[in-house]
Amino acid sequence: MRRQSFAKTMGKARRIRHLDQGVKPTHIQLMTELNKIRNFSIVAHIDHGKSTLADRLIQETGTVKDRDMQEQMLDSMDIERERGITIKANTVRIDYKADDGENYVLNLIDTPGHVDFAYEVSRSMRAVEGSLLVVDSSQGVEAQTLANVYHAMDADHEIVSILNKIDLPASDCDRVAEQIEDVIGLDATDAIQVSAKTGQGIHETLEAIVKKLPAPKGERNAPLKAMLVDSWYDAYLGVIVLVRIIDGVLKKGERIKMLSNGSVHHVDRIGVFKPQREEIDELGPGEIGFLTASIKQVRDTRVGDTITHEKKGTEDALPGFKPAQPVVFCGLFPVDSAEFEDLRDAIDKLALNDASFSFEMETSAALGFGFRCGFLGLLHLEVIRDRIEREYDIELITTAPSVIYHIHMKDGTMQELHNPADMPDLTFVDHMQEPRIKATILVPDEYLGDVLKLCQDRRGIQEDLTYAGTRAMVVYDLPLNEVVFDFYDRLKSVTKGYASFDYQMMGYRQDFLVKMSILVNDEPVDALSTMVHRDRAEMRGRAMVEKLKDLIPRHMFKIPIQAAIGGKVIARETLSAMRKDVTAKCYGGDATRKKKLLEKQKAGKKKMRQFGKVDIPQEAFISALKMDG
């Protein structure tokens, strides 16, 4: 695959709303009254039809001409389209003439559904006043439906319930409306029945947005107060900043100040997304748009920051958002060590567009130079890895995902452990704490027993079990390190795909944890080091060495594969050597001749084992860590 230029690569990852630079932007003047603006987001579980509903709203209002329409209009990354998921929250401005003859401006934010991107949902909520809660009328309320609607309630939103996919034969609107009332506590008697695929019910949805959702509040004559909702890097314009104006007016050419760091910038452009960029002269209270100000680094624009004028600006900062904290860490190493510099460039460019992705350089005896990266969850990890491999043509080895442990030393200090290979000497360690999560699982009751057993096997503590019709909602306190690798895969497997899962961080708790090392040919492989509970170490060690025995190809010498805690070996397998038939040329004659050849071969193998290098294929690193129950 031909290496792509910087601009072309960044263009591929940019959203669809970034216009080709050859198109001359339209300058329009906006003087929208506050009571004619509606700001709202669409929230739902994964694959319940958020992006399709956004497509129909855009199409119904003529925001995009039919010839330019495509599926997942607001999802621009290739990986979003392929996986059929939303990763980045995207915004679009829609002009709508309602049945009462009035013209309204609707600012829509389409949010992700997956738990890994919950930070995108929560910060998008702060920029709008209402939400459309989309529920699949054939599947009903799922775990992520609950999580996302709670984000909306925390932001004090007016919520309009929408039952989607009514064109499916399995659709049961009455049952799902009852579920919404029982599980969430929202009145769903007048929920709008929609098929985002066929367009049925879209007009009723637009009317409900205008009539049921509140207009924004704001003072046009007050000092400028704008919320920084999102920012991303553009190869031509620098950093593009998405803003929601709370009070005052923002005009092109003005000098603005970021309240968090006091930096001052000159505004080059102001505009809105329709969903292409359209430049305008000013943004007033209640409006959502973008600005560019020749900002070089995304890190200079903190999400949740307050933007005001350099002179006569506001002193009252908005509450802002908590920064996204990585919860899963793993090492990314190039298969070909000569590609390390290419990997560094790729990670630098990805970090420009994803403020929640953190990284630092690390070295490994087995894998060479690479990066220790922090992610919001396993899907986030997969997305970053896929983008590096696809957009930059670099083959990667991914080490075992791990979480942050708190190591309390005997001298009273506390260290954060990101990588099990960096575990300090146990003689100086007083105790260790691991992160715990509160997991909410919604599952049909026939699979409940399997789910309870899976959670118990992962050291879970049951906190709650309730029923909504034939579906059980079980709440468990689980250790995060038991969840990050293959818990979700196992959950889907034991429930035939019918369970839905959501979690939130609960803090740290002390437990009896140890570092388990894997030795191949008496050499520790730090990429396979993991933290395990002492009571489960033998079982995990046995499973891992058995798997490695199948994954590592045979060599000319025998290879011992061991799992060890400190200096104590807890599990061992031996990979037998390939044997060349050195006696093949001996036809009859004295037996001592054959014995001599075999002894010579044996001595050679012993020497080989001493100096031989064992090649571990890259798939072994991930496969060895997937516990099959």
pLDDT digits (tens, 9 = 90+) for 375-417: 877 777 888 888 888 888 888 888 777 788 899 998 889 988 8
Among 6-20, 181-195, 441-455, 565-579, which is the least confidently predicted range? 6-20
What pLDDT sits at residue 476? 92
- The answer, yes or no, to whether residue 505 has pLDDT greater than 50, is yes
Is 50 exceeded by the pLDDT of residue 19? no
Query: Is 12 annotated for ligand binding?
Result: no
165 appears as a binding residue in the annotation: yes
Which ranges in 138-172 belong to alpha helices (H)?
A: 143-154
Residue 49 known to bind ligand: yes
- 514-623 fold: Alpha-Beta Plaits (3.30.70)
Contact 240, 231 (CB under 8 A): yes
590 class by beta-carbon count within 10 Å (0-12 exposed, 13-18 middle, 19+ buried)? exposed
Least confident of 130-144, 242-256, 591-605: 591-605
Question: Is the CATH number of domain 31-212 3.40.50.300?
Answer: yes
Q: What is the pLDDT of residue 69?
A: 59
What is the rounded CA–CA span in Å between residue 137 and residue 174? 9
Record the tokens describing residue 360, joined without a space: 């630092």
Contacts of 36 (CB under 8 A, 6+ apart): 102, 103, 104, 105, 215
Is 450 flagged in the annotation as binding?
A: no
Q: What is the DSSP letter of 172?
A: -
The pLDDT of residue 298 is above 50: yes
DSSP state, 149? H
Hey, is 405 helix, strand or coil? Answer: strand
Can you tell me the distance from the alpha carbon of 90 to that of 72, in angstroms, rounded to the nearest whole number?
A: 11
In this prediction, residue 6 carries a pLDDT of: 38
Question: CATH class for domain 405-511?
Answer: alpha beta
Q: Which of 389, 443, 212 is nearest to 204 (CA)?
A: 212
Alpha helices, H only, 28-155? 50-60, 78-83, 118-125, 143-154
Residue 27's pLDDT is 42
For 96, 353, 364, the CA distances from 202, given in Å and listed in that order, are: 12, 33, 55
Residue 484's closest CA among 418, 425, 543? Answer: 418
Token representation of residue 290: 């973008």
- Flag whether pLDDT at 79 surpasses 80: no
* Whole-angstrom distance, CA of residue 234 vs CA of residue 296: 10
The two structure tokens encoding residue 590: 């004295």
In 3D space, the residue among 570, 558, 569, 567 whose CA is nearest the CA of residue 521 turns out to be 558
Of 205-219, 318-332, 442-456, the one with minimum mean pLDDT is 318-332
The answer to whether 36 and 103 have CB atoms below 8 angstroms apart is yes
Mean of the per-residue pLDDT values of the chain: 78
User: How high is the pLDDT of residue 346?
Assistant: 86
What CA–CA distance (Å, rounded) separates 183 from 326? 30
pLDDT above 50 (res 628): no
The answer to whether residue 320 scores a pLDDT higher than 80 is no
Residue 26 has pLDDT above 50, yes or no: no
pLDDT at 498: 72
Q: What is the pLDDT of residue 75?
A: 47
CB under 8 Å to 99, separation ≥6 — which residues?
207
265 in a labelled binding site: no
Amino acid letter at 606? K
The answer to whether 167 is annotated as binding is: yes
| Tokens linked to 159 | 């919520």
Determine whether the annotation assigns residue 52 to a binding site: yes
d(CA 591, CA 609): 27
DSSP annotation of 399 reads -
* Topology match between the domains 1-21+218-323 and 31-212: no
What pLDDT score does 604 carry? 66
User: Which tokens hold the place of 519?
Assistant: 């030795």
Q: Is the pLDDT of residue 134 over 50?
A: yes
Tell me the pTM: 0.66
Q: Does 24 have pLDDT greater than 50? A: no
* Predicted local confidence at residue 14, as pLDDT: 39
- Quick one: average pLDDT of 483-511? 79
pLDDT tens across 340-371, in order?
A: 898 988 888 777 666 677 888 888 766 778 88
The distance from CA 92 to its chain's CA centroid, rounded to whole angstroms, is: 22
Lowest mean pLDDT among 140-149, 187-196, 460-469, 509-518: 140-149
| 51 marked ligand binding residue | yes
Show me where the domains of the chain are located.
1-21+218-323, 31-212, 331-353+360-398, 405-511, 514-623
Q: What's the one-letter identity of residue 306?
A: T
Q: Residue 419 pLDDT more than 70?
A: yes
Please write the tens of the pLDDT for every residue from 436-449. Answer: 988 888 888 888 99
Task: Evaluate if residue 149 carries a pLDDT over 80.
Answer: yes
Task: Report the distance separating Cα 460 and Cα 263, nearest Å.
Answer: 47
Give, in order, the Cα–Cα distances in Å from 5 to each of 60, 342, 349, 512: 38, 12, 12, 50
CA–CA separation, 109 and 115 (whole Å) = 17
Task: Give the model's pLDDT for residue 140.
Answer: 83
Cα–Cα distance for residue pair 179/173, rounded to 1 Å = 10
Distance (Å, whole) CA 405 – CA 516: 15
pLDDT value of residue 475: 92
Work out the pLDDT band at 12, boundaries 50, 70, 90: very low
> Could you confirm whether domain 331-353+360-398 is CATH 3.20.20.70?
no
The pLDDT score that the predictor gives to residue 452 is: 92
- Where residue 85 falls among pLDDT bands split at 50, 70, 90? low
The reported pLDDT for the residue numbered 477 is 92
In angstroms, what CA-CA distances link 19 with 272, 275, 288, 451, 566?
A: 12, 9, 18, 48, 57
Residue 623 assigned to a binding site: no
- For domain 1-21+218-323, give the CATH superfamily: Translation factors (2.40.30.10)
Q: What is the pLDDT of residue 4?
A: 43
48 annotated binding-site participant: yes
The predicted structure's pLDDT at residue 387:
82
Q: For strand 429-444 and strand 471-479, is the pairing parallel, antiparallel, or unpaired?
A: antiparallel
Rounded to an integer, what is the distance from CA 46 to the centroid of its chain?
13
Q: Please write the tens of the pLDDT for every residue from 448-488.
A: 999 999 999 888 999 989 887 677 889 999 998 888 767 87
Residue 294 CB contacts under 8 Å (≥ 6 apart), including other chains: 238, 265, 266, 268
- My answer on whether omega of the bond before 275 falls inside 30° of 0, hence cis, is yes
The per-residue pLDDT for range 537-572, each reduced to its tens digit, is 888 888 888 888 888 877 777 788 899 988 889 999
